[in-house]
């Protein structure tokens, strides 16, 4: 049965629910000549550091690393760990972080603590730390943990050790080369993508966070080996203030940055339709050899800092669309500030990636009180914000994206000698380091495993308070797109 494609005439008549049901029947029908295994042999690797959820930005700060503990706990209680290989990743080294970030910035992150902030206060403005990006205990260690997981997941794909790699602690897409931004300090996505470029000729980056993926776009703005595609709210004021549809790249990277600006309140039907239209065209044109998907959950309805109306099922539908292309895939987290919904969303998307249906009723778990009063996997998240994305606007956005892609005659060609020659060297070094660690007593304790024997090894008992009040200060100023 052929897969259905939306067009302008049936946009209003076709519902997301109808499309989702049809895709459930077709989800194993794949296209493309990639190295991915057949649908029932897809190899998924899951990277989780058991300590990454224990850091704390501050009592009133909306970013709660504890959401990672909740997510991992639900993944385990649903039994999804039995469908994947589970890895305890190592921390990123200074040299690995310096592959993108400047040495003075890295030195600052390594040295500053809440106890010596007075000594470094004169550098706060230079490195953009303060209210949004506070200094907290273990800040550099936290960065090493989530960045290390993304780097190791990238290398797993390079070595053909998995078809899909997941790191929910990653996805911090705002960090710049020499400064923190938007709760992000080290840009693990850029670091992971740089690893992928050692082997894969072309990498596609897709971002479904409500905020523009500005740090990743900036890093690859002048290259044609990485295409960045970001779906986000844009009105000129909403953080980070970038992501206009006219930001298309420069130099060799001209037309390889694709921005899809959206207005407040977009719903499931409109988002999924536009996502599929854009992604189908992008992949058909760019022909990526690997994909990095950032799954920021602040694009869900009822997010503390968000203003969309997406359900968890629609958010996961975007993951399914990407997965169906059967291209080596790295999946990372990102934003998301209503903790209980972030955990539900990423758990559901883990199930999508391992082709497993989950019970609507959440399994018994230590953090059950976080999910009251419904205790469901798919709470009602729609309709809180008026949808300002009418059909005319969405069709204009789609048209502008298609016009941009027409400037690209074909996917850029990469000569093999342009791939760094030391790829096998660092893979051998990585394996040698792992062998040495595995032979030690400490290594035996940390060795990765395809089965989790004791759930207590994968979550902590710490509690964290979640601010429930929605920040109503985000105003909407619809953007006009020129004809």
Beta strands in 370-435 (DSSP E): none
Query: What CA–CA distance (Å, rounded) separates 384 from 285?
Result: 37
56 is catalytic: no
Residues 139, 180: Cα–Cα separation, whole Å: 12
Q: Give the span between the Cα atoms of 455 and 443, in whole angstroms.
A: 19
For 264-411, strand residue ranges (E) read 290-294, 329-332
Residue 113: how many CA atoms within 13 Å on its side-chain side? 6
CA-CA distance, 388 to 411, in Å (whole number)? 35
First-to-last C-alpha distance (Å) of the chain: 37
Q: Provide the strand spans (E) within 191-335.
A: 203-207, 226-233, 257-262, 290-294, 329-332
10 Å CB burial of residue 382 (0-12, 13-18, 19+) is: middle
Do residues 78 and 363 lie in contact, with contact meaning Cβ atoms separated by under 8 Å? yes
What number of other Cβ atoms are within 10 A of residue 166's Cβ?
A: 29
Token digits of residue 216:
């990743």
Q: Helices in 290-338 by DSSP H: which ranges?
A: 312-323
* Helix ranges restricted to H, 159-206: 188-196
376 CA to centre of own chain: 23
What helix, strand, coil percent values describe the chain, rounded to 5? Answer: 40, 10, 50
Give Cα separations from 427 to 8, 96, 100, 151, 156 (angstroms): 48, 14, 19, 12, 10
Catalytic residue among 101, 174, 212, 315: 174
From start to end of 324-441, where are the E strands?
329-332
Cα diameter, the chain: 66
Residues labelled catalytic: 174
């Amino acid at each position: 049965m052929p897969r259905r494609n939306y067009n302008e005439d049936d946009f209003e008549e076709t519902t997301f629910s109808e499309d989702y049901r049809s895709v459930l029947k077709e989800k194993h029908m794949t296209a493309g000549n990639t190295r991915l295994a057949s649908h029932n042999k897809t190899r998924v690797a899951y990277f989780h550091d058991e300590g990454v959820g224990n850091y704390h930005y501050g009592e009133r700060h909306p970013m709660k690393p504890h959401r990672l503990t909740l997510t991992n706990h639900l993944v385990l209680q649903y039994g999804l760990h039995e469908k994947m290989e589970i890895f305890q990743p190592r921390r990123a080294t200074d040299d690995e972080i310096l592959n993108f970030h400047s040495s003075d910035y890295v030195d600052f992150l390594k040295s500053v603590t809440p106890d010596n902030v007075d000594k470094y206060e004169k550098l706060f403005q230079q490195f953009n730390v303060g209210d949004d990006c506070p200094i907290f205990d273990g800040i550099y260690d936290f960065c090493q943990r989530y960045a290390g997981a993304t780097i190791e997941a990238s290398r797993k794909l390079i070595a053909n050790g998995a078809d899909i790699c997941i790191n929910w602690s990653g996805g911090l897409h705002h960090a710049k080369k020499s400064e923190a931004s938007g709760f992000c300090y080290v840009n693990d996505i850029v670091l992971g993508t740089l690893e992928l470029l050692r082997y894969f000729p072309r990498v596609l980056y897709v971002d479904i966070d409500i905020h523009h993926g500005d740090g990743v776009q900036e890093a690859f703005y002048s290259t044609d080996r990485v295409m960045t595609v970001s779906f986000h709210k844009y009105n000129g004021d909403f953080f980070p203030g970038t992501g206009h549809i006219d930001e298309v790249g420069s130099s060799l990277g001209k037309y390889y940055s694709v921005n899809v600006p959206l207005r407040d309140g977009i719903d499931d039907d409109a988002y999924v339709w536009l996502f599929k239209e854009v992604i189908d065209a992008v992949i058909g044109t760019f022909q990526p050899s690997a994909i990095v998907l950032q799954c920021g959950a602040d694009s869900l309805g009822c997010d503390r800092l968000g203003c969309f109306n997406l359900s968890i099922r629609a958010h996961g539908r975007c993951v399914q669309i990407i997965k169906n292309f059967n291209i080596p895939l790295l999946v990372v987290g990102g934003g998301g500030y209503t903790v209980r919904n972030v955990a539900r969303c990423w758990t559901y998307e883990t199930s999508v990636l391992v082709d497993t249906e989950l019970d609507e009723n959440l399994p018994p778990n230590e953090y059950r009180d976080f999910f009251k009063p419904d205790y469901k996997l798919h709470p009602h998240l729609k309709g809180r914000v008026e949808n300002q994305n009418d059909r005319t606007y969405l069709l204009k956005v789609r048209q502008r994206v298609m016009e941009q892609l027409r400037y690209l005659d074909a996917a850029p060609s990469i000569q093999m000698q342009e791939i760094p020659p030391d790829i096998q060297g660092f893979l051998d070094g990585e394996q040698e380091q792992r062998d040495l660690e595995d032979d030690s007593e400490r290594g035996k304790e940390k060795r990765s495993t395809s089965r989790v024997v004791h759930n207590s090894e994968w979550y902590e008992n710490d509690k964290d308070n979640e601010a429930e009040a929605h920040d109503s200060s985000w105003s909407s100023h619809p953007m006009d797109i020129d004809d």
